[in-house]
Amino acid sequence: MELGPITRALLRNKLGVILIALQIAFTMTVIVNAVYIINDRAANMARPSGLDEANTFHISSIGYGNSFNESVVVDEDLNMIRQLPGVIDATVTNAIPVSGSGSSSGYGLEPGRRDTLVPAAIYRVDEHVLEAMDLDLVAGVPFTAQQIVRRTPTEERQVTETILSQAMAESLYPDDWRQALNQNIYGPDGSALRVVGIVDRLQAPWPTFTYVENSMLTPEITLDNSTTYLVRTEPGYRDELMVEVEERLATAPHQRILRNNQSLEYTRTESYRIDSLMTTILKVVIGTLMFITAMGIVGLAVFSINRRRKQIGTRRALGATRFSILRYFMTENLIISAAGVTLGAIMTVGFNMFLVQTFNMPRIDWFYAPIGMLALLLLGQLAVIGPARSAAAITPALATRSV
Amino acid sequence: MLKMTGINKVFRTDTVQTHALRDFSLHVEEGEFVTITGPSGCGKTTFLNLAGLLETYTSGQYLLDGEDVSSLSDAQRARLRNQKIGFIFQSFNLMPDLNLFDNVDVPLRYRGVSAKIRKERIEQALAAVGLANRQRHLPSQLSGGQQQRVAIARALVGEPRFLLADEPTGNLDSNTAEGVMELLEQINQQGTTIIMVTHDPSLAARSQRNVHILDGQIKSDDRNSKARAA
């Protein structure tokens, strides 16, 4: 290895070296943070909602006119839907997980203590919710039909039971979430709900919600002329049932309009569209930056080799093998890249601190910087191998030519 | 030491075929100081390139230290150059970004010599050419004569069997050229074989043997009894 002479020679031609090292450092800074953001978004997008998303769809019914009796219509609709072949179960709900739309509240262990309330999404559902949403009850019992409360939005709350997601139970009882079972929890107005059950997982409707895993089910149907049915089907039946359910609801003699007949998979895709778009953009940025950096390295190497053709011929005359020349330029690139990635590691951490402080983004994991350094070193070596091979092919006879 | 027999070197393009050397035979004994003269384009540099294993020949036989070099691989030729041949070029061919120490170090690094031994040899070689106190200087900080001395130090540092010098005084003024010539003669007297290509008849006259090339063939091969023998 010729680390010493190569380094000293590079230090005598600083400008090009510094520019490439800075480019590598900048590329590493952007790429590492971008990869981290992509992975963070991907992890968010991959979080399970708790539902059987592949086999679930939802459709909304909005009644109008004086003759529209929502309480009757809901029963008719649900009876019809549940009897269709291929339907596992259906429930009414005020909100759809991952849809971005729903309601939330805060609940705590002490009445009147607003400062200790734990935020949670509220799903108002009927007794079929566990089957319809495919939720796993890990403690307690499901709702019964007798517990379902039908009320208009202006009526006083009469609900007295709730089923919590396990994450919500853990928020209330960090030492042992099972302690939440059969306990009363209290809302902002001091009203109590008794925890009758706990399900292992149920996400809130808002993917970016800090407490996205905190959810509560309450046994109630809000009669505000707008009802959403969530339907779970046997595998393979979803798409045809989406059509059939909509047709049957449409042909029923009620004054209403139907909308948002969507699979839960589509709802998820729509909810995460911005994340997907950002991920795609960041991937393009990463690819572009890597290409530009690789081209910069190639350009510097080609320029450097063309400038030193006679030197290379002389080295060959003095005993350098083709491999020696190849190794020389690979080593030279390694030194430049090492300087770049070292600076890049510092810049990466600095940039991440800026993102954390300014945009409240997550702190980068420690291993991203070393992996980024290795990736950029590898990129440099791959980029320079072509020019280095052409340098190695220079004939030693060039040493005696007047070029 | 160097024995070429019936060497031909032909350069071919799509339309032109040029015989740079024709049926070229030369035998150089150990310790000789041979000058190669001839007009431009006669084949001097081609001979030098073949002798120095910088190029391959088209046909014939070349024995270097008794070893037939025709079947050697590129890496083997590089190793042989490194171990047995020292090169001195007309325009010195020093690495402008390396100081004198690193310049002289180049052939030793390709030989895999330890750092300690390299350092000793480099210091000795630079001292031998009178530049021991300029080790950290760059070539650009030296005169032409000094640069050629560095090139000679680089050629000698590996203790080669023979030196190939391509117009070593061609870019130097007469006084400096005289100094370089004296240095080469001194090296030859210490036992190193030297083959020197030159245009200068006065330098040729100082060597023990002058080979004159014309149109790729040896026109004359004269021995000079007045020259100082090694």
Residues 6+ apart with CB under 8 A from B201: B37
The yes-or-no verdict on residue B176 having pLDDT over 70 is yes
Once rounded to an integer, what is the mean pLDDT over residues B90-98?
Answer: 93
Residues paired with B220 in a beta bridge? B212
Chain A residue whose CA is closest to B197 = A400
A339 to chain B nearest CA, in Å? 19
ipTM: 0.93
Predicted local confidence at residue B228, as pLDDT: 53
Predicted local confidence at residue B230, as pLDDT: 47
Least confident of A70-79, A156-165, A266-275, B55-64: A156-165
How many A/B residue pairs have CB atoms within 8 Å? Answer: 84
Residues paired with B28 in a beta bridge? B2
Chain B residue whose CA is closest to A322 = B75
Per-residue pLDDT tens over the stretch A115-148: 889 999 999 999 999 999 999 999 999 999 999 9
Q: Domains in chain B, please, with CATH?
A: 2-223 (3.40.50.300)
Angle, alpha carbons B60-B77-B68 (nearest 5°): 35
**Nearest CA to A384 among A315, A345, A337, A314?**
A337
Q: Could you give the CA distance from residue A382 to residue A297 in angstroms, rounded to a whole number? A: 10
Q: Which two tokens stand for residue B60?
A: 């014939």
Contact at CB, A397 and B82, closer than 8 angstroms: no
What band does A157 get if pLDDT is binned at 50, 70 and 90? low
A4 touches chain B (CB under 8 A): yes
Per-residue pLDDT tens over the stretch A221-263: 988 889 999 999 999 999 999 999 999 999 988 889 999 999 9
Per-residue pLDDT tens over the stretch B95-136: 999 999 999 999 999 998 899 999 999 999 999 899 999 999
Instruction: Give φ, ψ of B123 to 5 degrees.
Output: -65, -40
Contact at CB, A317 and B110, closer than 8 angstroms: no
Q: Which among A4, A9, A310 has CB closest to B97?
A: A9
Share of chain B above pLDDT 90, in %: 71
Rg, Å, chain B Cα set: 17
